[in-house]
Structure 1
Amino acid sequence: MFSPARRQPFICLRCLSRTTLSTRTYSNSAQPLPPPPPPSGAAKLTTRRLLFLHGLDAAKFLQGIVAANVRPGAQSGFFAAFLTAQGKVLHDVFVFPTTGTQWYKRTLEGDGGKGSAEENEPGFLVEVDAGQAEMLLKHVKRHKLRAKLQLRLLQEGELDVWSVWREEEKWTRHSSTFAEKPEEATSVAPSSSSGDLDGCLGLVDSRAPGMGRRILLPSTATLGDLSTLEGLEEVPLSAYTLRRYLRGVAEGQAEIPRDNVLPMNANLDTMGAIDFKKGCYIGQELTIRTHHTGVVRRRILPVSLYEPSSTPPEKLVYDGNWTLDTPAQETEISVQGKRGKPGKWIAGVGNVGLAMCRLEMMTDLQVTGEPSTFSADDRFSVKVEGENGEQEAGVKAFVPDWLRGKIRTPKVLKRVE
């Protein structure tokens, strides 16, 4: 007798995205915790992929679908975001202008380009979460219509994304290219024309102080080929992840689920991903309205776990000897002796991580004109599943200095007599 095939249970994209976090968290019982990140290092970001678009309308097209301002002829890369029509975050991305670079020229020649005419056309590499690269490509194609541009996803290994940093360089000056050969390792200023020879694309990661730079290297290149990166040691991806968590920087689908949070909740407004003075783009209406008239009560903040029997830590410090497991994604944070939902755990490594926090409950920030419910005596906790069953760990939220200085204080409306 014919037996029909069983249908697989349907899982919506939002729920599927939430299950991906387990591949990026660290369970102490399954594997040892990584060491603290070194003061200087370079990490290959295997969690990121690149989308290439170029053509006469490339800059104008990007200007209409990303929240950042795409200036024609600009040679400096920037951080940006794709939003839904309702103003929710789809993708957090980095954009690398390629016009005039040797990589662009070689790529056009390899794709059967027409020469110098196409070399001067706008071109961009868009770095996105690797698991969402296909989704971004479909999103861009959906809005392409008759725009004169070409799209393709770079093959894995065609260009690798690297994060490089030196702890003493809190802010690294802009440079658009890095030479592949030691004798050609001179950075090119953003205002200069293409003179990078066999250069590699790069930009400053300006989301938070000390995040360093991002560079794109061919899979055949090594760090030793660039004198600009002399003295840097290659470190695992976990070192880069830890540095992000300690600075309160969320990244990718696992930490910023698509169509789930507003850009302000993920601090994209303070990281430079949104230009509030530019013209129309997808998701602009609600984003501008929230910025000017709304109140952002929840934001992603770095948090630290601690033993409930001890006092909360004064500083955010990574503990490589942390014994409890990492809480599951979106585990609710509770406050002792009070009602309410202070926040949700997002991701972490050992005792440090990120959480979506209600600012006036978990921090001393005041974002509304109403009295704040925060008290320094409040104790917050989160449940952790471990080998010995369910346990509880204390949670302390920290507001980084770079973020505190960018959050606006509420306006007090004076009564007219």
Structure 2
Amino acid sequence: MAVATPRQPFVCLRRLPKTNRCTYSTTTATRTPPPPPPPTPPPSGAAKLSTRRLISLHGPDAPKFLQGILTNNVNATSYSPFFAAFLTAQGKVLHDVFVYPTLGSTFHTESNKSEDQGYLVEVDAEQVTTLLRHLKRHKLRSKFALRVLEEGELDIWAAWREGQKWTSHPSPTGSNIDAEGNITAVDTRATGMGQRILLPSTKSLEAHAAMQGLQESGLEAYTIRRYIRGVPEGQAEIPRDDVLPMNANFDIMGGIDFKKGCYVGQELTIRTHHTGVVRRRVLPVSLYPAISAPPEKIAYDTEAGVVSPAAGTEIKIQGKRGKPGRWISGVGNVGLAMCRLELMTDLQVTGEPSTFSAEDRFVVGGGEEEGLGVKAFVPDWMRSKIRAPKLQRRVE
């Protein structure tokens, strides 16, 4: 007689506790080392700005159109380039731009073939299509031609020389066109930023008179020089519709004319300038090991051995609560951060007592102990332009 085999109880697989699956590999995992830091920028050099593109506006209504949509003043009789921004109706930054008048240049003669004023608007390369849509939306029946320059039609160069001073005043002739018909501009955003030069792509660097004797450098050299001076640029560092122009230093970099007439986003910008307080600004910062003493001055160091944290990482105060700042971007041990001035610097922007203490230590990334130390600096050019708080006098 056969013995009956006991039946196993039914088990529902859906009710079994979930366990982590372990995977094994016969090969040893290797960590890819970080790429070596870029070299120190040369004292004199030039870099092609491949991250920027140009949009051409040409026609009789071009000056009036730009005057009603830009933060800076557009004078139809002026030939001086300028730095400016496009804003939302709520006063937030859409795009940071350079505007170059083209009349009298070789580009204007060959492309437009008329005496009507023309402009080239330089913008972040990744946002050129977005800005073009923005311009078309406001164009309506204005009489001017609008197009994006093809890649390779004109290259944008940044050039700087050791010990070269800068001035916000136009050249004696009032023109930004050099003897060779090329468009040039003094970068007046901060001390030592040098020049911007628009060159045909077929023209070599040595062929331009103003560029002779300059060492061609990579884009990283230009970026490092910007970071040390506290100059943000492009959509990654000035997020679209996220910050007010004063937070990104447009007011002290010459990007806003507070005396001009109406333009998109003017109301909040003027109100903040006259009655508001700018508590947060983009500042240059230096990274260092948290166990070390903070640096006395900001300088790029190829042997610092630190890696920039991810964009948007919060900065913390060791042993205290609060949100003093947020990391924006960096190269090696230097970068930019959005900082609360009265927490991270000795600047006083309100009539209230400052909460800054020279003993405070700031960290970014990880916990308060294992994160990188970060120190904010206020360059001399910036310190001289940030207004002190107005003192209210009581009438007895």
TM-score (norm 1): 0.84
Q: Of 346, 362, 378, which residue of structure 1 is paired with 2:360? A: 378
How many Å apart are 1:207 and its aligned residue? 0.2
Q: Of 51, 58, 65, which residue of structure 2 is paired with 1:61? A: 65
Does the alignment pair 1:206 with 2:188? yes
Does the alignment pair 1:349 with 2:305? no
Aligned partner of residue 141 in structure 1, secondary structure: helix
Deviations 1:120-154 (A, max 9, x none): 21100000000000000000000001101110000
Deviations 1:343-391 (A, max 9, x none): 0000001111000000000000000111110000000001169xxxx94
Does the alignment pair 1:398 with 2:381? no
The one-letter code of the counterpart of 1:254 is: A
The one-letter code of the counterpart of 1:34 is: P
| Contact 1:175 1:203 (8 Å CA) reproduced | no
Partner of 1:163: 158
Distance 1:284 1:330 in 2: 28
Aligned partner of residue 297 in structure 2, secondary structure: coil
CA separation of 1:412/1:223 partners in 2, compared to 1, >3 Å: closer, same or farther?
same
Partner of 1:91: 95
Distance 2:299 2:356 in 1: 23
How many Å apart are 1:312 and its aligned residue? 1.0
Does the alignment pair 1:220 with 2:224? no
| Contact 1:69 1:278 (8 Å CA) reproduced | yes
Return 5+ residue gaps in structure 2 as ranges: 1-31
Distance 1:219 1:252 in 2: 22
**CA radius of gyration, larger in:** 2
How many Å apart are 1:416 and its aligned residue? 1.6
Distance 1:362 1:391 in 2: 20
Same amino acid, percent of matched pairs = 66
Does the alignment pair 1:360 with 2:342? yes
Does the alignment pair 1:278 with 2:257? no
| Contact 2:44 2:215 (8 Å CA) reproduced | yes
| Contact 2:84 2:96 (8 Å CA) reproduced | yes
Distance 2:357 2:80 in 1: 44
Aligned partner of residue 345 in structure 1, secondary structure: strand
CA separation of 1:215/1:174 partners in 2, compared to 1, >3 Å: closer, same or farther?
farther
The one-letter code of the counterpart of 1:228 is: A
* Larger RCO (CA within 8 A; separation ≥ 6): 1
Alignment of 1:121-136 (within 5 A): 121-136=116-131
How many Å apart are 1:172 and its aligned residue? 5.8
Distance 1:352 1:327 in 2: 11
How many Å apart are 1:335 and its aligned residue? 0.3
| Contact 1:318 1:351 (8 Å CA) reproduced | yes
| Contact 1:324 1:384 (8 Å CA) reproduced | no
CA separation of 1:193/1:392 partners in 2, compared to 1, >3 Å: closer, same or farther?
closer
Partner of 1:138: 133
CA separation of 1:282/1:225 partners in 2, compared to 1, >3 Å: closer, same or farther?
same
Runs of 4+ in 1 over 2 A off after TM superposition: 172-176, 189-194
CA separation of 1:254/1:104 partners in 2, compared to 1, >3 Å: closer, same or farther?
same
How many residues are matched? Answer: 364
Alignment of 1:11-410 (within 5 A): 29-108=33-112, 115=113, 118=114, 120-171=115-166, 189-191=172-174, 198-383=180-365, 391-410=370-389
The one-letter code of the counterpart of 1:74 is: S
**C-alpha RMSD of matched pairs (Å):** 1.8
Return 5+ residue gaps in structure 1 as ranges: 1-27, 109-114, 177-188
Distance 1:373 1:161 in 2: 43
Aligned partner of residue 150 in structure 2, secondary structure: coil
Partner of 2:20: none
Aligned partner of residue 365 in structure 2, secondary structure: strand
